[in-house]
Amino acid sequence: MLKIENIQYKADNEEILQDVTFEFQKGKFYVITGHNGAGKSTLAKCLMGLYKCSGKIFLNGEDITNKSVDERANLGMGFAFQQPVTFKGVRVIDLLKIANKSYQDYENILRKVGLDPKEYLFRELNATLSGGELKRLELASVLSRDLKVGIFDEPEAGIDLWSFNNLSQVFSEFQNTERTTIVISHQERVMNLADEIIVMKDGKILKSGTRDEVLPTLNL
Amino acid sequence: MDNKEDIQKFMLKKVADIDEFPQGAHNLRIDGKGVERVNSPNCEIVPKKDGSGIDIYIKAGAKNELVYIPVLIMQGGINDKVYNDFHIGKDSEVVIVAGCGIHNHTDHNTEHNGIHSFYIEENAKVTYVEKHYGHGQGLGKKTLSPVTNVYLQKGASMTMNSVQMEGVDYAVRTTNGELQEGATFVVTEKILTQKDQYADSIFDVKLFGKGASTKITSRAVAKEKSYQEFHSNVTGTCESFGHIECDAILMNDAKIIAIPQISALSADAHLIHEATIGKIAGAQLDKLLTMGLNEKQAEDFIIKGFLS
C-alpha cells in the first residue's frame, strides 16, 4: 500500500532519519511511537512530502518520491498537523469546502469531532479558538477528504477527555474501511487502537509488530 | 463586453453590488455629471448650487434608510472632483453605499477624487460602504483618491467599510474623524495592489469627547511590484479608547510601509496600535497543500479569506 525504502533525512548535518524501510498495509491502523527526537514526526512529514528526503516512497506501487505535497494529497493522502494553523478571514466552512462535499457532510464531520456545527461551521479559523478546538477542526479538515492514507501527528495532544473518547470512535471507524491510518503518538490509549505499532529510536525503526507483540515490551 | 450599457452594469455591480437601484434614494454620477437622482421620504439629495457635488439630508429619527451614491467614470482623460456632504439627523439609522469605478480603455489618465464629509448628529448610526475598482486595458492611469471627513456628535456612530480590490493604479485615501462624547468610529479597510500600483492610506482620528472610541483595521495585500503606505494617527484628548490594527501580506517584490501613530494627550486615553507585515506563512501554505490545493490555489485561498 504505502512502502518506504531507505528513507534518510538530514537537517543541519544531523541525521534525523537513517535508512528507514517499512511497508504500511491497506486498511490497517498503525501507531508510530518513541521518545521525543526519535524521528516520528519527521518520518510522517517525509511520507506526506512536507520534508524532502532521500530513499523511495511508493503508494499502491506508484513511485511518489518526487511528487509534491498537493500531488500526494490528490492521490488520497492526508495529514493532520500537530500544531494547527489559523487563517485570518477564513471560516471553518471555507476550509472544509475544499473537499467539495455537501453541507450535511460538513455538519456530520463537525459532530464527529465533537463540535456543534451551528456554532462552528461559519466561525473564523482564527486565534480566538482554543487549542483544543483548533485540534478538532484540524481533524475535521482531514476527515472531510476521501483518504486512502491518513497521517495524524499526535492528534490527541492538547485536547481534553472528549476528546479521547470521540477520537477513539473516529479512529475505530477507520479500522473498518480500506483506509490506512498512521498515527504518531506517545499515548498507550492510542496504541491500544493499533493493529501494528512501530517503535522508533534515534531516527531508526527499533521494532515493529502487532499491538500484542509490541505493547508489552514498551514498559509504559 | 463592448456594449457601454453592459460595462456600466458590470461596473455598478463591482462598486455597489447591485444590478439595478433598489427602491429608495440614490444618485448616480457618470463622467462628472449627475445622471439619475431619486429622493425618498427620509432622504433628500440636493445638488450644490456651484455644481461641485451634492448635499444628502437624512431626516432625524429615520430608520432603515438605504442610500446609493455610486460614481462611474467611463472615459479616459477625465479629472473629476466632487464634494458630497452628508447631513445625518439625530437618532437616525442609515446605510450609505458609495464607491467609484473607473473604466479606462484609453491611454489617457483618468482621475476621480470624492471628498465626502459626514455631519452626524447625536445618537445617529451610519454604515458607510465604499468600494473602488479600476477596469480597462488602456495605458492611461486610473487614479482614485477619496477623502472622508467624519464629524460625530455625542453618542453617534459610524461604521466604514472601505475596499479597493483591483485595477486602481494610484490611490491616496484620506480619512479624518472628530469624535465627541460617547461617539464610535469603526473603520475596516481592505486593499489589494498589484503590478506597479501605488496606494497610500492616511487616517487621522481625534477623540475629543469622554468615552469616544475608534477601531481602525487595515488589511492589505501587496503583490508584484506594487507599493503601499499606511499612515494612521489616533489622538486621545480625554478618557477614550483607540485601536489601530494594520495587517499586511507582502508578495513578490512588493513593498509596504506602515506608520501607525498614537497620541495620548490625557492619562485617561487608552490607545493601542498593532502592525504586522509579512509574507504568507509557510505553515498556512503547507496546510492547504495537504488539502490538495496547489501553491497558486493556496495563495489565492489565503488572500481571498484575508480580504473577505
Per-residue CA distances from A13 to A10, A17, A162, A168, B54 (Å): 6, 12, 41, 39, 70
Taking residues A159-170, report their average pLDDT: 71
pLDDT for the residue A170:
80
Contact B290 A48 (CB under 8 A): yes
Q: For residues B35 and B39, give the distance between their C-alpha atoms in angstroms, rounded to a whole number.
A: 14
Q: For residues B219 and B276, give the distance between their C-alpha atoms in angstroms, rounded to a whole number.
A: 10
Report the SS3 class of residue B296.
helix
pLDDT at B9 over 90: no
Contact A73 B307 (CB under 8 A): no
Taking residues B253-272, report their average pLDDT: 96
DSSP letter (8 states) at residue B8: H
Q: Where are the domains positioned within chain A?
A: 2-215
- Tracing cell 517503535 back to the chain, one arrives at A199
User: What does the pLDDT look like over B139-167, one tens digit per residue?
Assistant: 899 999 999 999 999 999 999 999 998 89
Contact yes or no for B123/B155 (Cβ under 8 A): yes
CA B15 to centroid of chain Cα atoms: 11
Residues in chain B: 308
Name the minimum distance, in Å, from the CA of A135 to any CA of chain B. Answer: 13
Name the minimum distance, in Å, from the CA of B65 to any CA of chain A. Answer: 28
User: What does the pLDDT look like over B185-228, one tens digit per residue?
Assistant: 999 999 999 999 999 999 999 999 999 999 999 999 999 999 99
Interface list for B 245-264 with A (CB within 8 A) = 247
User: What does the pLDDT look like over B11-27, one tens digit per residue?
Assistant: 888 888 888 877 889 99
Q: Side chain identity at B194, as an amino acid letter?
A: Q
In a domain, B297, yes or no: no
In a domain, B10, yes or no: yes
**Residue B91 Rama label (left phi>0; alpha psi -120 to 50; beta):** left
Taking residues A114-127, report their average pLDDT: 94
Query: Average model confidence (pLDDT) for chain B?
Result: 94
B308 touches chain A (CB under 8 A): yes
Nearest to A85 among B287, B292, B307 (CB): B287
pLDDT for the residue A175:
72
Enumerate the residues of chain B whose CB falls inside 8 A of the CB of residue A99: 291
pLDDT at A187 over 80: yes
CATH of domain A2-215: 3.40.50.300
Using N-to-C axis directions, what is the helix angle for B295-306 and B282-290, rounded to 10°? 120
pLDDT for the residue A161:
57
Q: What is the pTM of this model?
A: 0.88
pLDDT at A162 over 70: no
Enumerate the residues of chain B whose CB falls inside 8 A of the CB of residue A98: 288, 291-293, 301
Interface list for A 56-75 with B (CB within 8 A) = 68-70, 73-74
pLDDT for the residue A104:
94
Sequence-distant (6+) residues with CB within 8 A of A208 are A22, A196, A197, A198, A199, A214
Q: For residues B263 and B114, give the distance between their C-alpha atoms in angstroms, rounded to a whole number.
A: 28
Q: How confident is residue A163, by pLDDT bands cut at 50, 70 and 90?
A: low
Taking residues B47-63, report their average pLDDT: 95
B277 touches chain A (CB under 8 A): no
Q: Which of B37-46, B86-95, B135-144, B215-224 is the least confident region?
A: B135-144
Contact B289 A99 (CB under 8 A): no
Q: Can you give the residue range of the structural domain that contains B120?
A: 4-281
Number of domains in chain B: 1
User: What does the pLDDT look like over A40-75, one tens digit per residue?
Assistant: 999 999 999 999 999 999 999 999 999 999 999 999
Four-CA torsion B23, B28, B34, B36, nearest 10 degrees: -30
